Amino acid sequence: MYWAYALGWAVLKHLPERAARALFDRLADYAWRKRGKRVLQLEANLRRVRPGLDEAALRALSRAGMRSYLRYWMESFRLPVWSRDRVARDVQVEGFEHLRGALEAGRGAVIALPHMGNWDLAGTWVAQQGYPFTTVAERLKPERLFDRFVAFREGQGMEVLALTGSGTNVIGTLARRLREGRMVCLVGDRDLSEAGIEVTFFGEATRMPAGPAALCQRTGAALLPVTLWYDGPVLRALIHPEVPVPEEGDRKTRTLAMTQAMADVWERGIAEHPEDWHMLQRFWLADLPVRETVGETAGETMGEKAGERVPERIEPVRDVRAAAPEPAGEPAAEASGS
């Protein structure tokens, strides 16, 4: 797998834009026609988002979803050679005043995102505005693949903390960054382990990480949900107003309320742009076999295994094993554990 990514970084950035986009559209269409496990799961997820679609319309939506998903990879492989002008042209952000206000007030901010659009491109845009931030990445095997991804993201102005294996207190470091008035970015739409917070999403139960809400309660930082989607050649981002900490209830109750409020924001964004929600894994609790309802199989885990410190759980920015394109057949996530 390492050589596939290395080839992507080495070769794709030198291809003409039109050729690279056409190549990845063909890869997306090939995977979509094969109807592998990830494509079937994507369609099962999209049925919850758009329950009124007939089979033909659902298939068209899943095809658009696969093209959006492979566009993420194409752009990420080419991003290291994009100029500042190119990033500024291709990313349009609304609601930036919410982020700026929190940081200028010295509060710090947690940007919480679903698996939507192109997180790396949006993060590059934010860093280029003069707001560097800290995020978390799952440690990958082989180690050089993880090092390559860390180097890529650090090259875009991000501080990347390894979720495991570094000896660093990740939660403590994130809390310090927030108390320093800085920004932390976390993916927060999926945590099916028993450590997750149960919320309602498109009318069904799922679990999401408690980390974003817990960190904001612990540090006083602003919790700002974000949605991302493609609009032709442009990546659009909407930074939503702050999710406030409830005045009543204990910490667990407040965490649940804040996490559900985030889920409600993301639900509206995904309903408007379902093709840009890159969720090719099981997402709702009803989809899990009975033996997995208290945890995840190793191949499906997107973060650390369920731990005891429920309020402190966080989610890595993106599990590239689970997210790897599948045109060659079996998804890479099935062959590796967490």
* Pair 302, 319: CB distance under 8 Å: yes
Q: What pLDDT score does 195 carry?
A: 86
C-beta of residue 100 within 8 angstroms of C-beta of residue 109: no
Q: Which pLDDT does position 10 carry in this prediction? A: 63
For the segment 159-188, what is each residue's pLDDT rounded down to a tens digit? 888 776 667 788 999 999 999 999 999 998
Using only the alpha carbons of the chain, give its radius of gyration. 19
Give the separation between CA 33 and CA 66, rounded to whole angstroms. Answer: 10
Q: Summarize pLDDT for 182-233 with one digit per residue, the tens.
A: 999 999 899 978 889 999 999 999 999 999 999 999 999 999 999 999 999 9
The predicted pLDDT at position 215 comes to: 96
Distance CA 230, CA 83 (A): 19
Whole-angstrom Cα distance, residue 277 to residue 270?
Answer: 6
Nearest alpha carbon to residue 257 among 307, 174, 177, 200? 200
Segment 255-301, tens digit of pLDDT: 999 999 999 999 999 999 999 999 999 999 999 887 544 444 333 33
Q: Which residues of 130-151 are buried (b: 16+ CB within 10 A; e: fewer)?
A: ebbbbbbbbbbeeeebbebbbe
The pLDDT tens digits for 35-56 are 999 999 999 999 999 999 999 9
Q: How confident is the model at residue 309 (pLDDT cuts 50, 70, 90)?
A: very low
